[in-house]
Amino acid sequence: MRFSCGPGGKTERVAEPGVEAFEKLVALLNYPMFVVTTRAGGIAAGCLVGFASQASIHPPRFLVGLSTRNHTFRVAAGATHLAVHVFDRKHLDVVELFGSQTGDKINKFDRCSWHSGPEQMPILDDAAAWFVGTILDRFALGDHVGHLLAPVAGRPPHELESWVSFCDVRHLEPGHEA
């Protein structure tokens, strides 16, 4: 971030050229979206996550970035596992619930169908596919914390043609600011 002198002598923030290019590039990417849930101390939590990706093949590893502002992040701090769900667009309502509401104000699990799955993780019944991973490591990424997962259980998709991606949810106002 740079600062420059704006009208009336006011100091203005100006994005570095590299940052501006980066922001324009990532705004165009249509990456997959996930709903990540967890449970600790009897409290279930979950939110919509775009910052997530497979990170290794052998051994299988997956990285989930959770915003430090989110209720889910705070519950995950005391958890041993996360559950990562992929949704078909026909269940966009559940995806929107987890991205636009916060567990600080409502119980999202009262508003959707779920069951307790492997390692007591809350599994969302409308998901097209999911896996549960052990949290092997946590590390700071910036305003998000990376959670490195090793898969321990899951349900693979039968078919997944119209999975929810960034373009389907970019209009949402997040329950917590990023």
The footprint of ligand FMN (CB under 6 A) covers: 45, 47-51, 65-67, 70-72, 99-104, 144, 166, 169-170, 172, 174-176
CA neighbor of 178 nearest in space, from 62, 72, 78? 72
Helix H or strand E encompassing 43: strand 43-49
Question: 3-class SS at 11?
Answer: strand
C-alpha separations of 82 from 39, 58, 138, 173 in Å: 8, 20, 12, 24
Cβ closer to ligand FMN: 39 or 101?
Answer: 101
Residue nearest to ligand FMN (CB): 175
Q: How far is the CB of 3 from ligand FMN (least distance, A)?
A: 28
Cβ closer to ligand FMN: 34 or 131?
Answer: 34
Q: How far is the CB of 20 from ligand FMN (least distance, A)?
A: 20
Q: How far is the CB of 16 from ligand FMN (least distance, A)?
A: 23
Cβ closer to ligand FMN: 8 or 42?
Answer: 42
Cβ closer to ligand FMN: 32 or 174?
Answer: 174
Q: How far is the CB of 10 from ligand FMN (least distance, A)?
A: 31
* DSSP structure string for 93-158: HHHHHHHH--TTTS-GGGSS-EEE-GGG-EEETT-SEEEEEEEEEEEE-SSEEEEEEEEEEEE--S
